[in-house]
Structure 1
Amino acid sequence: MNFQFTHPYYLMLLIPALVWVVWLALKSDVQVSAWRRWTGFWLRTVIVTALILALAGLQWLRPLEGMNVFFLLDRSDSVPSPQQEAARTLVNQMSEKKKKTDKAGVVVFGSEASIETAVNQAVDVEKIQAVVGRERTDIEGAIRLGTAAFPENGQKRLVLLSDGNENVGDAMASVLASRPLGVTVDVVPMGITRGNDVSVQKLSVPPKLKKGQVFELKIFVQADRAQSATIRLYRNEQYLGEQKVELSAGKNLFTFPQTLPEPGFYSYDVRVEAPGDLLPQNNRASAFTSVKGEPRILIVSSDPDADKELARALQSSRLETKLVGINGMPSTLGEMQSYDSIFLSNVAAGDLGRDLQLLLESAVRDFGVGLVCVGGDQTYAAGGYRGTPLETTLPLDMELDSKKVLPSGAVALVMHGMEFANGNQVARDCAQGVLAALGPNDEMGVVLWDGNEHWLFPMTKVKDKKALGRQIAGMNQGDLPSFQGVMTLAHEGLKKSHSNLKHIIVFSDGDPNAPSPSLMNDIVSDRITVSTVLIAGHAGPETMIWIADHGKGRFYPVTSPNELPQIFIKEAAVILKSAIYEDPFKPQLRASSELVRGIGATEYPMLLGYVATTPKPRAEVPLWTDKGDPLLAHWQYGLGRAVAFTSDAKAKWAKNWLGWDKYKQFWSQIGQWSLRRLENADFTTDVTVEKGEGQISLEALDEQGNYKNFLELVADVVSPKGEKISVPLEQTGPGHYEAKFPTKAVGSYVLNIKDIKDGKVRGSQVVGASVNYSPEFNASEPNENLLRRLAESGGGKVLDPDNLSDNPFLHDRQKTFQPRELWEWLLKFAILMFPLDVAVRRIQLEREEMQRAWRKVRSKIFFWQGVPREPEAEESLTALLARRDQVRSTQTAASEPNPDLFRPEKPVVLATKDIFAPAGEQESETAVADHPGVATKSKEPDKNQPVSTTSRLLDAKRRAQKRKE
């Protein structure tokens, strides 16, 4: 048997404890018999030993059979899809040779790791279901997840199937950390060698330029061998030209002179083409720069022609203004940086999308760009702003005051199972988007088919969004055969609703049969509208178009799941039009502000409509409507300024304003107030990206060229998806500062480096860097050296995938043990032995008492009476006293005493010896007859009969009384 200790250092107490027990046994002055002394000594020795072993954490190692194996499958872009499929097949083949006691599981990894299947005895991976990012390889995360997911018992082995081209984390550190836990690591090399690879390492452009300044565009190209290539150059997506170049093996540098005569934002894109290059993904790079000039304003309008008067009003104050449609909205944070303020005129949240809204929020908060939202029937609550980054940025809240009662809306979602990858999850996300856009007084219900047509939850107020969101998260709809049943349920639910606006949204791929014309007529007659969203349609759009046309709604043909959330937000806004008031009113001036300076309270013309909102606590609201709703509000949001005007600036609601003589002044003052206010800091900054990490290197000099030391510099880094992190720069030398930041996403990273003093930003500099392609395409061959070192450090081996006998379940099997904790049993044993030790030393029992106790135990527990004993010769004192009382009661009850009551029938000879008489003296035997005062015995006691202590005492008492008489 095998044992081990969890706290072996407690064993050092064992010898001193036993010495103490021996000393105590020798020095004790307790007067006990020898056998008790030695029995107590050994009991105390056993108790002390048990306690020390319990403290040391004694464990019994029970032998176990079986091995636990986790296969780690690399699903990143650097591993070709055929090899990923081959790896899945190899897992099944290797698992076929495992023993019945063995278990296997699968972990897939890329940018992150995910458990495909936990370790179990049945292994058959038909298809990989887990979804992980493919643009990075994080071997460390996979090893750590596999190590943590192992069961406690059995041999543990990881099998890594990868090309070894890690670009996130440290795989070697995770292997070394797993070794003390008994985990070994085998590797199976994957990947291919791509010869003749040409890649663009970097495109360098100065981040800021002056108007007309000449600069050089630098292109760094890496080539595996010397060959010819063609470099093509683009600026703002416009082709500038191409040039034939000769590449040498290794790194190459090419420069192109450029000049930019006009202010603005400029993006450059370079592409290299080389014959025989098998990996085109790494053949391009991009960078951006901006040319500063006069302040610039961008107007993004849903109807540019109707907003020309607004553009002319801003241009009248010498503000360079550009008017574009929704498609002209800048798609990157870098493009937004070229404008000092952005106007949104009647733009719905669904027209921008959440990612673009996040970038716009970051531009205002982190880079000081101004934002002015001009209202209309597609803005604020009516445009689905509720719960979006736009609502966060603006000084208005889309939730209305509880005192204001507006018509409510109701929407029913008809959810159909999608047959494209992850389709049901996309549907859940869309339903969550609709839920987030609705107000607490609106109603929502979800109808689906999962074998039966039923409500996921019926039409209900959306006050508790968390509870409804949990139900949507567990929704698992199926591929329904016909729209008739589910749309009938939606129609019946909306008919019972008391909402003023009712809407149905049908989400499908177009497979089900169309509802009947009579049902559509009933829906429309009940003032319910129907819109349809066709996703990845493969049965033709006719059915979905027909439903939308007859339901007086809109039809959306969607080719990408990324478009769905925006569409659902726009459709949810259909029932939010109740927030619009279209009654003429005169603006009311209630507070002074820079935005309305010089305009009297009575000078404002009538407006014909607005969207009801609620001001946020920190917002300034100079203009109000006649119903007590905010008309003009503004505030400081981060480094930028945001303005909200709840009416519009065109002929629909501001018809009377277009001819107003102060129309231009009003909008010019708003535009001037919203402009970026930060002063540019004069730093020399370089930003590079290497191995999935960005590096900032900054030199700070004053006007005389002296180093500026001990500055408090912070870089706000915004990713291509609008996610922001703040990174402090540390001084590493005179006037030199450095910092690092993660770059997991592919695209442009914009950095705002802020110079902070006394908690205030006194200057900033905006720079950028680009991750042109996934680092998965940096390496042209597998990293076999890393794989070999991982196997050596992990105590495993490099497996040959072509040799099926080279199996992780077969080589280097070891006997493993399951530890069983014994400290609790040892403690219980010591507790039970302690009373026995005390009893042996302190309790002394006579043999007669022990026999009597044994008889009682025997009769009570074992129900065994034993052989009947002869009655004892004497009675106990208690029995004698009871007899005396009985006799006295009899004498008292009799009318006359009977003189012969105590007279014996025959004379009794009393022959006894006074035990108190002097030695040698003996009484003579006397025959006594008819003498009432003399006690007699019927016969001489039997010498063989044992005499009790009570009998001897009674005899002595009688003899003493006789002598006295």
Structure 2
Amino acid sequence: MALLLLPMFSLASPIFLLVFLLSIPLFLLIQRWGKTQSQSEKRNSLLLLRFASLACLFLALAGVHRKTQSSQLTFAFLVDISKSIPEAQKHFAINQINTIIDSLKPTDRYCVISFAKQPSVSVPLVAVQNNPYVSPKSILGNAIAQNGTDLASAIQLAISILPEVAQKRVVLFSDGLQNTGQIDSVLELAQASEIRVLTIPILAERKNEIIVQKLQVPPKIQKGRIFKVRATIENTMDQTVSINLYRNGVPVIAQKKVVLKSGQQTIVFDQQIFDIGNHEFQVEVIADDEVSENNTGYALVEISDGSRLLCVTSDKFAGQTIKTVLEASNFSVDVVTPSSFPIDFAQLQKNEAIVMINVSANELSLLQMNQIETYVRDFGRGLVVIGGNQSFGRGAYEDTSFERILPLKMIPKTQKESLSVLMLIDTSGSMANYVESDQKIGLAIEGVRLAVNALGEADLVGVVSFSASIGLQIPPTTDHQRVLKAIGTLRPRNGTQLFPALQEAYKLVKETEAKQKHIVILSDGKSDGDFESLTTQIAKNDVTITTLAIGDVAQDLLQTIARNGKGRYVHVKDMTQLPRVLAEEVHQIQEYTVQEMFVPRLHQTTRILDGISQTPHLYGYIATSRKETGQVLIKSHKDHPILAVWDCGLGRSVAFTSDLKGWGRDWIRWENFGKFWIQVVSSVLPRSSIGNNFDVQTSINGAYIGVTVEAKNLRAINDSSELLVRASFPNHHGQLVEMIRTTPTHYEGRFEIDELGVYLITAKTTGDQQTACLVVPYSSELANFETNQQLLRKIANQTNGTFKPSIAEVASRSDQLVQKAKDLAPMFLIICIIVFVLEMVIRQFRFRDYQSTVTRESTTEQWSMQNPELTGQKLEIDSSIQKLLHVKRQATTNSQMTP
């Protein structure tokens, strides 16, 4: 029920207004009885404010609405400019819009929205009289992605633009080939907003068009076996075309002339490949049709020949050892150095697993490390990392792709070994040179200072400086302050004799009882001597050597010293970074390396350790800690991981933190050495052939790729959390696909098409792994040119619109006025709050004034009672002052009247 106040206002709950009107007399009586006459006069303004705030409150409770009405027509013209629309049809839509505008009144309003994959406002809401013509450039010149059609977003944008009070209509020009967006919810919104959608179909059919629907090859084939490549082609008219077939971008057959009949047909090619790995096929149809982008198809085939492995190491002995062991078990192993690691990802994919032996992160580029991560996580391949003094934490794995895909964290959680470090510092003449405002020797001293401060109190540190001869000599000591004081005396001198200085440094450090002994050489490397035999001898006595090369260095010499000394080589190109680099090197030495004999403990039993109940001694390893989901199979005597494994995305990685030479020298003579490494490597191989418990199917659904997984029995997949599906994109990036269980054995998911090319979708469970390949050769806009009249009819019917309306039907005007009631309750509530706050502020100030007056009167009264004899004098003085002021005013008046 609504009580009519005025023709333009109504009440939703008039009872509140009635209560307010009846309470007004009572309110006035309370105010009058509660105050004296003088007080009422002072509080009239407050009474008015209180009345106003209560009035606003009751009007809000009563639900006051303001009614508006209009007969104005307001249009939103939606024009589909996606790739599936021929140019002539786009101009047809623009001409239709201008014809409709010509039949409207000057005061009617309209806007134009062009859309494809997303909508864009081409002409904002405007009156016809202000813009009576729509130019093609304003619509077709919009820079929006045209490789999709989103009808839902376009209609939703139109709903947000159209005013509330008007005869609202959306006129949609489209072929109805929607491939992204959800239309049903938007149609419900349009219906609730009383917006009619009139749909005018745009003909997408083309007279001369060829579409390569798909190119098919077997997903996996044995090397040398002949297989079929099938191209399915759809043609709208009989014609002769040329067909090219490419493999990895290279033509594999001569251009072939084919007569295509109208309709769909399949062209077959025989192929044979001997090169192992993934191969991409491309078919291209050369014809004089309207759209050439959909004349191409792609497919991917994997050529296999047993298990192919890539071993990456700079250690020839270790590389040959692992190669011999694995090839005895029918593995095919290629050994390369880090500098020869494949840059082309396609070459990397030829291998089912990578074995890295003592490889530093600094030896590979960021791109190569990221490719290894993608190779394991997204393509389901394997990785085995074997340690050494340049691996794990010592190899700068922390916060890199290596740490992300390995089962270990690079920072250990237990206490470090005792350490003895000797700094061998070059003080030759070149150290007198300046880098910016700093002298090289000053930067070296600062680096040593930071390095010493990074050591623990029990750690030993010594210094030997050299130029033409040995200078400063401080044997390793725990008196760090002595070292810091002594290095301040270092000065550059002529000559560079590294060899005798290294001999002296070795002599000093080997005499200490620390478990870790390390020499850090800071030099430009220009020196003579038999470094090969000296460094080999040093390494045999468990003393490692790290070389920091500075300036214009003899890199070969310092690299050889570091390699033979089982340490690291670092080239400090920016001398200003020398202090930081030196400090970090010492930090790594003391943090990561454990060197002492122990018997590893088998922690868990898995297939990797089948038939192995104990292992030989180890003499050292790189300390790490287990990740939360990592599985540690072998531990050290200090509970550090020695062998750990985990699943990384679709692939698997294994980490062995000791080495294959010095620390693991007893393992090479172990009878189960070959068996152990064969089982380790086998555990990380792709598991596509392990089982056949489910099938993976893929399909293109508009702008999305759909994935379905069908389990062959109820036990194949226990629950959806066990199923992991990952999609690898053409750019080698990837993402997990969320799968929804629709039946006990059926799972569905989808992801948005990111780019054109080959997509690999791999589904994995505990006991099985399957991979499917899908190719997106061109935009889904170009896959179908048949107007979807069924969808356009549905849009019109659900919004009380019209399908295929005439111009007169589009511009027809309803006799009934459009009415809208606007709720004014929020406005009255805001006013009520503002007035109430204003009243409180005024009351506060009046109270303060009243208090001041009372205080003054009280003070005067007290003063008068205390000084009665002065009270009369004050009155007399006040009377005299008044008389003097009266005389002054009279004098002023007389002077003004005198001419």
The structure-2 alpha-carbon separation of the partners of 1:117 and 1:626, relative to structure 1 and needing over 3 Å to count, comes to farther
Q: Secondary structure at the match of 1:174?
A: helix
1:276 aligns with 2:288: yes
The structure-2 alpha-carbon separation of the partners of 1:177 and 1:617, relative to structure 1 and needing over 3 Å to count, comes to closer
1:514-525 equivalences under 5 Å are none
Give 1:674's aligned amino acid: V
Give the aligned partner of residue 892 of structure 1: none
Q: Secondary structure at the match of 1:252?
A: strand
Question: Which deviations, in whole Å up to 9, do the C-alpha atoms of 1:338-368 show, x marking residues without a partner?
Answer: 754344564657214768735631344xxxx
Following the alignment from structure 1 to structure 2, what is the Cα–Cα distance between the partners of residues 578 and 98? 80
Following the alignment from structure 2 to structure 1, what is the Cα–Cα distance between the partners of residues 232 and 192? 45
Q: Tell me which of 244, 250, 254 is aligned to 2:257.
A: 244
Following the alignment from structure 1 to structure 2, what is the Cα–Cα distance between the partners of residues 387 and 120? 56
Question: Which deviations, in whole Å up to 9, do the C-alpha atoms of 1:238-284 show, x marking residues without a partner?
Answer: 5432433221112111223445678x544341312223135332222
The structure-2 alpha-carbon separation of the partners of 1:214 and 1:787, relative to structure 1 and needing over 3 Å to count, comes to same
1:294-443 equivalences under 5 Å are 294-299=306-311, 310-322=322-334, 325-327=340-342, 330=345, 340-343=352-355, 346=359, 348=364, 350-352=366-368, 357-358=373-374, 360-364=376-380, 369-374=381-386, 391-398=403-410
Q: CA deviation at 1:181?
A: 0.8
The structure-2 alpha-carbon separation of the partners of 1:739 and 1:603, relative to structure 1 and needing over 3 Å to count, comes to closer
Give the aligned partner of residue 777 of structure 1: 782
Q: Tell me which of 681, 685, 694 is aligned to 1:671.
A: 681
1:490-501 equivalences under 5 Å are none
1:60 aligns with 2:76: no
Q: Tell me which of 209, 216, 222 is aligned to 1:197.
A: 209
The structure-2 alpha-carbon separation of the partners of 1:355 and 1:604, relative to structure 1 and needing over 3 Å to count, comes to closer
The structure-2 alpha-carbon separation of the partners of 1:761 and 1:301, relative to structure 1 and needing over 3 Å to count, comes to same
Following the alignment from structure 1 to structure 2, what is the Cα–Cα distance between the partners of residues 91 and 402? 76
1:564-603 equivalences under 5 Å are 585=595, 590-592=600-602, 603=617
Q: Secondary structure at the match of 1:241?
A: coil
Q: CA deviation at 1:387?
A: 6.2
Give the aligned partner of residue 725 of structure 2: 716
Give the aligned partner of residue 150 of structure 2: 138
Are the aligned partners of 2:74 and 2:167 in contact in 1 as well (CA < 8 Å)? yes
The structure-2 alpha-carbon separation of the partners of 1:260 and 1:100, relative to structure 1 and needing over 3 Å to count, comes to same
Q: Tell me which of 689, 700, 717 is aligned to 2:700.
A: 689
Q: Secondary structure at the match of 2:177?
A: coil
Following the alignment from structure 1 to structure 2, what is the Cα–Cα distance between the partners of residues 304 and 99? 88
1:174 aligns with 2:186: yes
Question: Which deviations, in whole Å up to 9, do the C-alpha atoms of 1:435-483 show, x marking residues without a partner?
Answer: xxxxxxxxxxxxxxxxxxxxxxxxxxxxxxxxxxxxxxxxxxxxxxxxx
Following the alignment from structure 2 to structure 1, what is the Cα–Cα distance between the partners of residues 751 and 739? 10
Following the alignment from structure 1 to structure 2, what is the Cα–Cα distance between the partners of residues 645 and 81? 63
Q: CA deviation at 1:201?
A: 0.7
Unaligned runs of 5+ in 2: 1-5, 16-57, 418-435, 437-445, 452-547, 552-571, 830-899
Are the aligned partners of 2:616 and 2:666 in contact in 1 as well (CA < 8 Å)? no
Q: Tell me which of 680, 689, 693 is aligned to 2:691.
A: 680
Q: Secondary structure at the match of 2:180?
A: coil
Q: Secondary structure at the match of 2:252?
A: strand
Following the alignment from structure 1 to structure 2, what is the Cα–Cα distance between the partners of residues 626 and 359? 34
1:927-942 equivalences under 5 Å are none
Q: Secondary structure at the match of 1:140?
A: helix
Work out the percentage of aligned pairs sharing the same amino acid: 23
Are the aligned partners of 2:737 and 2:749 in contact in 1 as well (CA < 8 Å)? no
Are the aligned partners of 1:799 and 1:806 in contact in 2 as well (CA < 8 Å)? no
Q: CA deviation at 1:642?
A: 1.8
The structure-2 alpha-carbon separation of the partners of 1:686 and 1:600, relative to structure 1 and needing over 3 Å to count, comes to closer
Question: Which deviations, in whole Å up to 9, do the C-alpha atoms of 1:635-654 show, x marking residues without a partner?
Answer: 345675321346787x9x99
Q: Tell me which of 268, 277, 285 is aligned to 1:255.
A: 268
Unaligned runs of 5+ in 1: 14-51, 406-483, 485-494, 501-526, 531-548, 555-571, 702-707, 755-759, 828-965
1:644 aligns with 2:661: no
Following the alignment from structure 1 to structure 2, what is the Cα–Cα distance between the partners of residues 674 and 140? 46
Are the aligned partners of 2:284 and 2:296 in contact in 1 as well (CA < 8 Å)? yes
Give the aligned partner of residue 220 of structure 1: 232
Specify the structure having the higher radius of gyration (Cα).
Answer: 1
User: Greater CA deviation, 655-664 or 348-357?
Assistant: 655-664
Following the alignment from structure 2 to structure 1, what is the Cα–Cα distance between the partners of residues 88 and 323? 56
Q: CA deviation at 1:206?
A: 3.1
TM-score (norm 1): 0.48
Are the aligned partners of 1:591 and 1:621 in contact in 2 as well (CA < 8 Å)? no
1:766 aligns with 2:782: no
Following the alignment from structure 2 to structure 1, what is the Cα–Cα distance between the partners of residues 312 and 96? 55
The structure-2 alpha-carbon separation of the partners of 1:185 and 1:319, relative to structure 1 and needing over 3 Å to count, comes to same
Give 2:783's aligned amino acid: N
Q: Secondary structure at the match of 1:748?
A: strand
Question: Which deviations, in whole Å up to 9, do the C-alpha atoms of 1:904-932 show, x marking residues without a partner?
Answer: xxxxxxxxxxxxxxxxxxxxxxxxxxxxx
Give 1:231's aligned amino acid: I
The structure-2 alpha-carbon separation of the partners of 1:341 and 1:148, relative to structure 1 and needing over 3 Å to count, comes to farther
In the comparison of the two structures, how many residue pairs are matched?
614
Query: What is the aligned-residue RMSD (CA, Å)?
Result: 6.9
Give the aligned partner of residue 727 of structure 1: 739
1:820 aligns with 2:822: yes
Question: Which deviations, in whole Å up to 9, do the C-alpha atoms of 1:856-886 show, x marking residues without a partner?
Answer: xxxxxxxxxxxxxxxxxxxxxxxxxxxxxxx
Are the aligned partners of 1:632 and 1:645 in contact in 2 as well (CA < 8 Å)? yes
Give the aligned partner of residue 506 of structure 2: none
Q: Tell me which of 726, 744, 749 is aligned to 2:753.
A: 744
Following the alignment from structure 2 to structure 1, what is the Cα–Cα distance between the partners of residues 813 and 584? 66
Are the aligned partners of 1:589 and 1:622 in contact in 2 as well (CA < 8 Å)? no
Q: CA deviation at 1:775?
A: 0.6
Are the aligned partners of 1:77 and 1:134 in contact in 2 as well (CA < 8 Å)? yes
Are the aligned partners of 1:694 and 1:743 in contact in 2 as well (CA < 8 Å)? yes
Are the aligned partners of 1:719 and 1:750 in contact in 2 as well (CA < 8 Å)? yes
Give the aligned partner of residue 526 of structure 2: none
